[in-house]
Amino acid sequence: MSQHVTNGPTALDAQSLPPLSPAEHDRLLPHGNTLQLQGLIDPGKVKADFAVPFNHRAFGDKVLISNDLGDHAWLSPLELQALAYGDVASGTALYDRLASSNFIAATVDIKAQAERWRKKKQYLFYGPSLHAFVLTHRCNHGCQYCHSSIVGMERTDTDMSVEVAERSVDLAFQTTSPGVSIEFQGGEPMANWEVLQHVVEYARQKNALAGKSLSFSLVTNLSLMDEEKLDYLLDRKVQLCTSLDGPAELHNKIRIWKGGNSHEHVIKWMRRINQRYADMGLDPNSYRIEALPTITRQALPHWKAIVDQYLDVGCRAIFLRKLDPFGFAAKSAKTLGYSMDEFLEFYAHAVDYIIELNRQGIQVMERHAAIMLSKILADLEPNYLDLRTPGGACIGQLGYAPDGSIYSSDEGRFVAAMGDDMFKIGTVEDTYHQLVTNGATRAAVMAGLNDGQPDCVSCVYKPWCGQQVEYNYKTQGSLHGRMRDSTWCKKHKSIFDYLMHKVLNANAEDLAMFQRWTINRKLEHFLQDRGTL
Amino acid sequence: MSQTHIDQRDPEKSTISISLDVGLYPIEVLYGAAYIFIDRCFVLLDREGGEGKGAGRFVVRLRGKSPLTTVQLDDLAGEFANELLSQALRRKIVKQNQKIIEEITTQAISGAAGGSLPTDFLDTADDGLDFLDDPLGIAVPWEDKFKKKKEGADA
């Protein structure tokens, strides 16, 4: 285990942390507030055409403003008043600052900004690029939070057939997106190894003509990995991703595997795969097996041990993923679940620790933070499907089930696994055109737009945030949900608040660290060669 | 009586009744909110009192599909009232931002479809956005329909 453990609980026998007082909670998770405009802005004096439309949020004596282009600025209340009244003289520092971030209407270069908007919203000009293939519902693990409808390993009848697989690949290649990313999921997708290989070969063959930017990724628990399979996956440049919930005691408590010690096995193969990447001459800073933890109630006190475990196995990025409301996670919410406040406290503890590690020279980042900061500080659109508007359902991704059903997304098929086909948009017998133009797709797009959503339309985080219609439906009963009491909104707004507070108070070194987190390292190795076999 | 009011709660029958001023929310908003609850409750919509358009009160009876305590019933009523408000506000925002919503939706779908949308796509999209309109008069309370016919007949 790494030696950089400096604070927080050190042993897994600490099963719970004392609840934080409201003041402690606020110190850990500083939040913004609705700005009190009364007494500050006289509606009669507002010069409506001076500034472009903007939203605002108060952070102590500073006000954060943002516009739909994705620019932001920090103002004092009086500077905000001046902007609202159109009382900012040309040539002043404030004018220059506001003009350079596109808040003064007369100075906005419409053509340049339209091009910038188009570049960031390029996902509106293409069809789905992520194609999640559920190769089987079989799995040899019994993870307590699994969101899939898993069955025992003997149930080969739940495997995707070669025919369905080929038809799914055919559909995926009809996307108008220049990129096709096929993600193998399950169950445990390696249980249907022959079809996995067939999809890889068949897609590569198709791409010899299509010339798409083709990539494969495999989400696996690694339990069925062996050297021969690894040789194949590395040879075919299949990116690997696994689940690692933290140290052994925590991981094995939730990720139950009758076949052995799941944690030991995962760690062994993670190290082996990373070594193989290094042996291939790939930069170890960029090429590592990806891993994701799912945060359960049992994990909450162990933020530091989880981060340390990830560092210890060579990861430099960690995605602190909240338990979702689908599948077993919904059924076992009483034993595994927690409040959003509890998750956010966990998150802040962990990211505070990650920041501290960076200050000590250990480079590691949290993915939510990196995605959000990429949008805010680097003006990038990472196309993270859960944080874009409209969301990724149907037009950013499609989920392909073994029986040939096609869903709006991975989450759409999780809802189906709970007995509700709300997000089934068709089958492999349909044409691609039918799938992306049907009423369900249109409804998902419209509902997933921030521009039609109360709260979102007036939120300072609107240009960088998004919704997931499947989450809205599952938690609040409609595609639109209600953001005011949505845990989705609470989670993202709180993390945005936390990060913006950090940015506002960052010194030069911390700001450089946050900028570093926004660098998107393109993993070119995992792209298949275009137009060749 | 207040504009939105809990009329009755019956924990033994897991039922709560809410009434609201007919003029407070468009009936489409009432339908939208009621629909959200049908997985948890049996929902009965009714109207009582008043004569003519805009008069009287809508009555919403929610009966839990599983037993509910008094507190849970009150929460249910509160959540229903919140949903009504949320639907009403969203309806207004969608109207205000209709143009941008149409533009982005059309671009997103045509981008995915390769620019060749079904010939009726735009018409259908318009229908979708104007779902709050009621050209066939389906949402018009029968009293109003009946009254109009009767007035017509009288004339």
Cβ within 8 Å, pair A437-B89:
no
Model-level pTM? 0.86
State the pLDDT at residue A10. 43
Q: What percent of chain A has pLDDT over 90?
A: 82
pLDDT band per the 50, 70, 90 thresholds, residue A4: very low
Of B36, B100, B113, the CB nearest to A436: B113
Residue of A nearest to B119 (CA): A437
Cβ within 8 Å, pair B36-A439:
no
pLDDT, tens only, A199-221: 999 999 999 999 999 999 999 99
Mean pLDDT of all residues in chain A? 92
For domain A122-436, the CATH architecture is Alpha-Beta Barrel (3.20)
**Mean pLDDT on A362-391:** 95
In A166-237, beta strands by DSSP E: 179-185, 213-219
Encoded tokens for A249: 């005691």
A373 in reach of chain B (CB within 8 A):
no
Quickly count: other Cβ atoms within 10 Å of residue A249's Cβ: 14
Q: Which residues of B touch A453 (CB under 8 A)?
A: 90, 93
Q: Which residues of B touch A442 (CB under 8 A)?
A: 105, 109, 124-125, 128
Q: Is there a contact between A326 and A414 (Cβ–Cβ < 8 Å)?
A: yes
Domain ranges, ordered by start, for chain A: 32-120, 122-436, 450-507
Closest by CA to A325, choosing from A129, A171, A474, is: A474
Q: Is there a contact between B103 and A452 (Cβ–Cβ < 8 Å)?
A: no
- Greatest Cα pair distance in chain B: 58
Domains and CATH numbers, chain B: 1-96 (3.30.1360.10), 99-155 (no CATH)
Q: Is there a contact between B41 and B63 (Cβ–Cβ < 8 Å)?
A: yes
Cβ within 8 Å, pair A454-B93:
yes
State the pLDDT at residue B130. 45
CB pairs under 8 A between A and B: 92
**Mean pLDDT on A495-504:** 97
pLDDT, tens only, B11-28: 999 999 999 988 888 999
Chain A residues 485-504 with a CB less than 8 Å from chain B: 485
**Mean pLDDT on A297-321:** 95
Encoded tokens for A237: 């440049």
Q: What is the DSSP string of A349-362?
A: HHHHHHHHHHHTT-
State the pLDDT at residue B142. 53
State the pLDDT at residue B143. 57
pLDDT at A402 over 50: yes
Q: Which residues of B touch A408 (CB under 8 A)?
A: none
Q: Which residue has the higher pLDDT, B36 or B55?
A: B36
Cβ within 8 Å, pair B111-A449:
no
For residue A360, report the phi and psi dihedrals to the nearest 5 degrees.
Answer: -85, 5
pLDDT, tens only, B98-152: 888 888 888 988 899 887 555 555 444 444 444 444 445 555 555 555 555 555 5
Q: Which residues of A touch B124 (CB under 8 A)?
A: 439, 442
A472 in reach of chain B (CB within 8 A):
no
Q: Which residues of A touch B90 (CB under 8 A)?
A: 452-454, 480
Cβ within 8 Å, pair B107-A176:
no
pLDDT band per the 50, 70, 90 thresholds, residue B3: low
Buried b (16+ CB within 10 A) or exposed e, A211-241: ebebbbbbbbbbbebeeebbeebbeebbbbe
**Smallest Cα distance from A174 to chain B, Å:** 9
pLDDT band per the 50, 70, 90 thresholds, residue A418: confident
Q: Which residues of B touch A176 (CB under 8 A)?
A: 111-114
pLDDT, tens only, A271-302: 999 999 999 999 988 899 999 999 999 999 99
**Mean pLDDT on A487-507:** 96
Cβ within 8 Å, pair B111-A175:
no
Mean pLDDT of all residues in chain B? 79
Cβ within 8 Å, pair A390-B104:
yes
State the pLDDT at residue A367. 95
pLDDT, tens only, A77-134: 999 999 999 999 999 999 999 999 999 999 999 999 999 999 999 999 999 999 999 9
Cβ within 8 Å, pair A451-B104:
yes
A443 in reach of chain B (CB within 8 A):
yes
Cβ within 8 Å, pair B90-A452:
yes
**Smallest Cα distance from A443 to chain B, Å:** 8
A422 in reach of chain B (CB within 8 A):
no
State the pLDDT at residue A15. 53
Residue of A nearest to B114 (CA): A176
**Mean pLDDT on A394-418:** 94
State the pLDDT at residue B97. 87
pLDDT at B56 over 70: yes
Which uninterrupted H or E stretch holds A235? helix A227-235
